[in-house]
Amino acid sequence: MPLSLAVLVSGGGSNLQSLIDRIEQGVLDAEIKLVVSNKPEAYGLVRASEHGIPTRVVAHADHPSREAFDTEVLRAIEAHQAEAVILAGFMRILTPGFVQSFPRRLLNIHPALLPSFPGAHGQRDAADYGVRISGCTVHFVDEIMDHGPVIIQAAVPAEPGEGGDALAARILRLEHRIFPQAVQWLAEGRLGMEDRHVRLAPAKRPLADLSGLGPCLVNPPLEQGF
């Protein structure tokens, strides 16, 4: 049985698209049951509809509190029987109650090498700081923003003065590789946890070819298809 997902978006949804693509290619053993956006104009909703995926807008302006908002999102997810929740550019902080509803079943991707540059502007903050290496992180979500246990990270070069957009584009190519891989590891039940250390159960798979990606470092290594 494929892993049933709800994907939460706020914007363009290119990470959602990378999940859809890997599912349609038959390498990601998951099914997206529902895409939820807090913004009615999010292009991620269009992407979902184009692939026959149910969508739901839960506008935060219509809810008196964070709790009320999260409760409605939770109801939608439960109504579609999603087992795991994937935050793909979802720009709202979730309540502890929501987080605790999906123990080890709630994943986020962040465009920086956490714990560096948490928050809404990871790429720009890295560019402004002047780091020479930045990247992206897929992690389990806990009650603290951009803080939960790390599943996989990817590093890319950053060049001084290139600005956040160029760095963001370089990072995004890696996001599209590591996020579907992390979801596949979740679907295969290969992610264990001790304290906050995520252990990946081994599998005898060939590794992915990263030669087209330019200089980068990904750990754990990507497996074939990702």
Q: What is the set of active-site residues?
A: 110
Amino acid at 162: E
Contact 112, 137 (CB under 8 A): yes
Cα(146)–Cα(133) distance, integer angstroms: 19
194 near a copy of itself (CB under 8 A): yes
| CA–CA distance, 150 with 108 (Å, rounded to integer) | 10
Dump strand ranges (E) for the chain.
Answer: 3-9, 30-37, 55-57, 84-87, 106-110, 133-140, 150-157, 191-194, 197-200, 217-219
- 133-140/150-157 β-pairing: antiparallel
What is the identity of the amino acid at 69?
F
Judged by CB under 8 A, which of 48, 74, 86, 152 binds a copy of itself? 152
The reply on whether position 209 binds a copy of itself by CB under 8 A is no
Q: Is 106 a residue that touches a copy of itself (CB under 8 A)?
A: no
Report if residue 215 touches a copy of itself, rule: CB under 8 A: yes
Site for a copy of itself contains 153 (CB under 8 A) = yes
Please, what is the minimum distance in Å from the beta carbon of residue 219 to a copy of itself?
Answer: 4
Tell me which stretch binds a copy of itself (CB under 8 A): 13-21, 53-61, 82-90, 210-218.
Answer: 210-218
Spatial separation of the C-alpha atoms in residues 177 and 218, rounded to whole Å: 10
Nearer to a copy of itself (CB atom), residue 16 or residue 174: 174
Residues numbered 42 to 101 that lie near a copy of itself (CB under 8 A) are none
Q: Which of 135, 171, 184, 187 touches a copy of itself by CB under 8 A?
A: 135
In whole angstroms, the minimum distance from the beta carbon of 102 to a copy of itself comes to: 19
Residues at the interface with a copy of itself (CB under 8 A)? 113-117, 129-133, 135, 137, 149-158, 160-161, 194-199, 215-217, 219-221
